[in-house]
Amino acid sequence: MRYERYHIPIETVPTTAPPVPKFIITRASNCVNCGKCEKACIFGVHKRKEGDPREMADPLSHLCKNCFRCISDCPQRALTMSLGQDYRALGHGIWTPLRVSTIWGEAETGKIPVLGAGYRGMFAGPDFDGVWTDMSEIVRPTRDGIHGRETISTSVDIGRKPLFLAFDTEGALTTELAPVVELSVPMMLDATRLEAAGPDVLMGFALAAKGLDTFLLVPRDRITKELMEAAPSQIVPVLSEGTDVKSLEVDPRTRMVELCVGASWKNWAKAFAKRFPDKVLSLRVQASKGVEETVLEMLDAEVPVAHLEYDEDGREQGRGETRHAKDSLRAVHRAMTAKGVRDEITVIASGGVAAAEHVPKTIVCGADAVSLESALMVALSCRHCSTCRPSSCPASIGAAGPDWVRGRVMNMVGAWRDQMLEMLGAMGIREVRRLRGEVGRAIFYDDIQKEFLSILSGGGEHG
């Protein structure tokens, strides 16, 4: 087989939704149509009217880039800039307008967002905003940056890995090897909680999963024949709790099956392993308080994959005190490493992934891979409205065609993977498998702020 470097093809896939301008430029009635603003704006916001060049056309606010040049140059002081109200209303919860619009850009171009003028945001923040990843300066060996000669691998293995291999006296392998699937990116597409994804959108996701060499998780009752045929080895049927394992039928090309679980799953898992020894089983649990115990139980029962489902905002589900995934996953990872069995189970995390950096941050906290949910919809121009109504969707998500969906999703995942490579390159880590649980290569706001404050209160050290 010829070696080919994994690569996500990107192409520009413009949105069909109306633009949501970040800045609104208004021209007051005292404008004298002198045209100075047209000259001033290098982004083309100000143009003369097509039919009547004596007058200025309405400003194309969505092109405005906040430079204030036209405002300084207008002799009449007729121009005003204001913050776009629709823009400011984008998203809710962890989905800030900036995150929504960033994904739109990534899904359109497939490129890493690059801007000048340094950082413009908050010092730190809750959850993932309180995590920085490390970088390696001069004194660490063997690393070669992202533009270097070596590649950085983003492949992950999904399944149960033996901690060691056993051989008989003849030297033949006696360890029974469980099925393991290698995915080229640590990001799966997951439509399980995306009720607004219609058949065409699902089809687009399936095509994207194929192009990306990853899984698409779909509830079994939404898997049509066409969908299955489009990407047979990418589709992971998600079974609802209570599915009968004895009568279960699985397409032979399926590589992984996921079961949503509640209280009892041990016998189910055993029966599944017996009936489908060549398929990986993933158990999807709502991550809640004490989730680390559940994962340990799964480990004991030789379940290959635990899929921990956090809520929309990346927090544990259920009442009372809930942890964010960053803390919850660290606890899970710690519980397993304490027993020396971390590699026996694969941990997938979903929920709360709303930006490129959330993927490596989820992994550094202890997940092997993440599943992308709402982000996929946002890639399709969804605004993540707090009241989502397909009938009045401003982005007409329902009307999206499969190829367009595929392009947008692949672009976003491509841009996210490239950004992950930037972070891995900066850390001097050559493959994403090595990132998992590497909390020593991350900086946590809670810890460093505490250290900082204690230095401050320790008083002056005039050296």
Residues 109-138 that bind ligand SF4 (CB under 6 A): 116-117
Does 21 help bind ligand SF4 (rule: CB under 6 A)? no
Among 17, 20, 78, 217, binds ligand SF4 (CB under 6 A): 78
Q: How far is the CB of 348 from other proteins (least distance, A)?
A: 22
Q: Is 30 in the site for other proteins (CB under 8 A)?
A: yes
By C-beta, is 135 or 177 nearer to other proteins? 135
Contact track, other proteins, 113-132, x by CB under 8 A: xxxxxxxxxxxx----x-xx
Binding mask 334-373 for other proteins (x = CB under 8 A): ----------------------xx---x------------
Compute CA distances 104 → 109, 196, 309, 376, 383, whole Å: 9, 18, 25, 10, 9
- Nearest distance, CB of residue 40 and ligand SF4, angstroms: 5
Interaction partner, residue 114 (ligand SF4, other proteins, none; CB < 5-8 Å by kind): other proteins
Task: Using CB under 6 A, count the residues that bind ligand SF4.
Answer: 29
Which residues inside 142-161 make contact with other proteins, applying CB under 8 A?
A: 142-148
Q: Give the binding range for ligand SF4 (CB under 6 A) out of 31-39, 277-285, 364-372, 425-433.
A: 31-39
- Residue 134 binding: pick among other proteins, ligand SF4, none (C-beta 5-8 Å cut-off by kind): other proteins
Pairing of strands 369-372, 187-190: parallel
Q: Measured from the CB atom, is 57 or 250 closer to ligand SF4?
A: 57
Q: Are 349 and 325 in contact (CB under 8 A)?
A: yes
Q: Residue 5 corresponds to which amino acid? A: R
* 247: CB partners within 8 A, 6+ apart: none
The one of other proteins, ligand SF4, none whose footprint includes residue 120, by CB under 5 to 8 A per kind, is other proteins
Distance, in Å, from the CA atom of 208 to the CA atom of 234, rounded to the nearest integer, reads: 10
CB closer to other proteins, 115 vs 165: 115
Token look-up 């009547």 returns: 52
How far is it, in rounded angstroms, from Cα 183 to Cα 5?
A: 14
What six digits make up the tokens of 131?
């995590």
Residue (of 370, 394, 388) closest to 156 by Cα position: 370
Q: How near is the Cβ of 110 to other proteins at its closest, in Å?
A: 14
Q: How far is CA 409 from the centre of its chain?
A: 11
Do residues 59 and 47 touch, judged by C-beta distance below 8 A? no
Integer Cα distance of 286 and 354 in angstroms: 19
Binding flag, residue 49, other proteins (CB under 8 A): no
Question: Whats the size of the chain, residue-wise?
Answer: 463
Given a contact cutoff of 8 angstroms between Cβ atoms, the answer to whether 284 and 238 are in contact is yes
Q: Closest distance between ligand SF4 and the C-beta of residue 81, in Å?
A: 6
**Cβ proximity of 52 and 44 under 8 Å:** no
Q: CA 365, CA 359: separation in Å to the nearest integer?
A: 10
Given other proteins, ligand SF4, none, residue 276, with its beta carbon under 5 to 8 Å by kind, binds: none
Task: Indicate which single residue of 68, 175, 277, 290 sits in contact with ligand SF4 (rule: CB under 6 A).
Answer: 68
- Least distance in angstroms from the C-beta of 72 to ligand SF4: 9
Tokens for 265, please give them.
């799953």
Q: Which residues would be at the binding site for ligand SF4 (CB under 6 A)? A: 25, 27, 31-37, 40-41, 43, 45, 56, 64-65, 67-71, 74-76, 78-79, 81, 116-117
